[in-house]
Amino acid sequence: MELEQEVLENARRILARAAPTLIARGISHADPEIKSDNKFSRSSELKIDFFRHDQIIDVLEFGIHRDGVPLVGLGEAVDWLEEQIQTVGVGNESD
């Protein structure tokens, strides 16, 4: 679905912009991915795992489609992701 690809591309751009802040916090991340329930599902979500010292410290998941119906627009997804990335690793520096 086109919306999924746009969300994924924007997630990669946002993560690239946030890289200096994340690195300063000692945080790395997996490549963002689109997850579906199964190959016949018309539901999907964006998923990004965040790590510190090879341990998962946070997982961002954001629903994109449910039963083929968009749950959000691109602007809402981008705003949410930018907001969430600012808080990754904050308050759990000892993890």
DSSP secondary structure string, 71-84? SS-HHHHHHHHHHH
Largest CA distance in the chain: 41
pTM: 0.86
What are 26-65's pLDDT values in tens digits?
Answer: 999 999 999 987 666 688 999 999 999 999 999 999 999 8
* Domain map (residue ranges) of the chain: 2-87
Mean pLDDT of 1-29: 93
**Residue 95 above 50 pLDDT?**
no
Mean pLDDT of 16-25: 94
Percent of the chain predicted with pLDDT > 70: 89
Q: What is the pLDDT of residue 38?
A: 64
Coil, helix or strand at residue 87: helix
Cα angle 85, 83, 21; round to 5: 40
- Locate 95 and state its tokens: 């993890």
Q: Is the separation of the CB atoms in 55 and 95 below 8 Å? A: yes
